[in-house]
Amino acid sequence: MDRTGNPLTTVGLNSFGFDSTVNVEDLRALYLRPRHRQMSSQTSTEQDPMPSQLRSTYDSTSNSVSYTTVSKFPPVKLLTPHKKKRILVTGGAGFVGSHLVDRLMLLGHDVIVVDNFFTGSKTTVSHWVGHPNFELIRHDVTEPLNIECDQIYHLACPASPPHYQFDAVKTLKTAFMGTLNLLGLAERTKARFLITSTSEIYGDPQVHPQPEDYWGNVNPIGIRACYDEGKRVSETLTYSYQRQENVEVRVARIFNTFGPRMNPQDGRVVSNFVMQALKGEDMTIYGDGKQTRSFQYIHDLIDGLIALMNSDESRPVNLGNTDEFMVGDFAEMVREVVKEVKEQDGEEIKPLNIVYKPIPSDDPQRRRPDNSRAKEVLGWHPRWTVRMGVEEMARYYKALLEAGEIE
């Protein structure tokens, strides 16, 4: 059931002449294994696993893994040539990018993924490798790229603190040079360009919730500045190309998003809590737990990105969940959901403690989007409850832990 109590059988919107709706179970089959799909959707279907997945077999005695691929792919829509688009997704092997690729592939479009695999992984899109509609290119967007396309989704940039702080200069270079190169490509090919910006451009906000016309409160020399200011200059570049070169641009300001395929070691609050709870470890809160966050599930974000790309809205648009949680309360909810998942699998439940550690520098105290513009111009609003998303994410990580693919 969705947030309003209605059955959630499809995701996507049919708007602006672009139908992005697909069956929920078709998407789940790409990341959840059959047993976990049945429990998560609470249906009695006994579908076979999608034969297109890259299969892995773990041998604990030799601590080795073997991979098997097959040539049958998930069914995709058959589009006429004038409806079929050639779509470039930078960072398409990452968490958000791979889900966007899944959706665009199922919709029947030609999809080109460009990724340098710094934080992304080939395994997130391996089930499409070899499909006639799919191309995968290893490339760093800080270097020029020549390719033909109709739309560009520019997602390439490390997005979690441990990753973007690992090499702050490279993060800034990716934000500026990568965006410059892709905007140049958009200008040459006349492609529509969408950049995934971030709620981090608002910094530690003094306005709550944050509307798109709020300019933010950012520390330009702090440890998070490489990402915060990098995304701000990316937006500046984008609108400069719109004004000077007449490039069609779209800017999505993404708030905290979670879901399957998040790197379990990326240091974000949702993945940290879920992994710690699944492994029976103490759950770590940085600060007193009273700082607030809003969390949206990945499928809602993909709905919003596709709707924005195909709309006529060129102003920045917030995409996030307006449900606000204190981090301490969220930890309690994750602990409860993981307990239910383990009980359904007949596992022994161990009590989990919540421990508190010092809060990192420049960590914002409150973060919640004002989604008025997205509702008004896109007809978009989140449909997945946070609890539903946490349950799916717990099942996803649990299957990987059982298979020895993560630890």
Q: Which two tokens stand for residue 49?
A: 């696993």
Q: What is the DSSP string of 259-323?
A: -TT--TTS--HHHHHHHHHHTTPPEEEESSS--EEE-EEHHHHHHHHHHHHHSS--SEEEE----
In degrees and rounded to multiples of 5, residue 232 shows phi and psi of: -65, -45
Count helices and strands (H / E) in the chain. 12, 19
Q: Determine the Cα–Cα distance for residues 23 and 35; give it in Å rounded to an integer.
A: 18
3-state DSSP call for residue 31?
coil
Cβ neighbourhood burial of 353 (10 Å; 0-12, 13-18, 19+): exposed
3-state DSSP call for residue 10?
strand
58 is catalytic: no
Among 86, 279, 106, residue whose Cα is nearest residue 185: 86
Q: Which two tokens stand for residue 164?
A: 């973007």
Q: Determine the Cα–Cα distance for residues 13 and 24; give it in Å rounded to an integer.
A: 13
Cβ neighbourhood burial of 41 (10 Å; 0-12, 13-18, 19+): middle
* Residue of 164, 227, 241, 396 with catalytic role: 227
Strand ranges (DSSP E) for 46-169?
A: 55-59, 64-68, 86-90, 110-115, 134-138, 151-154
Catalytically active residues, by annotation? 227
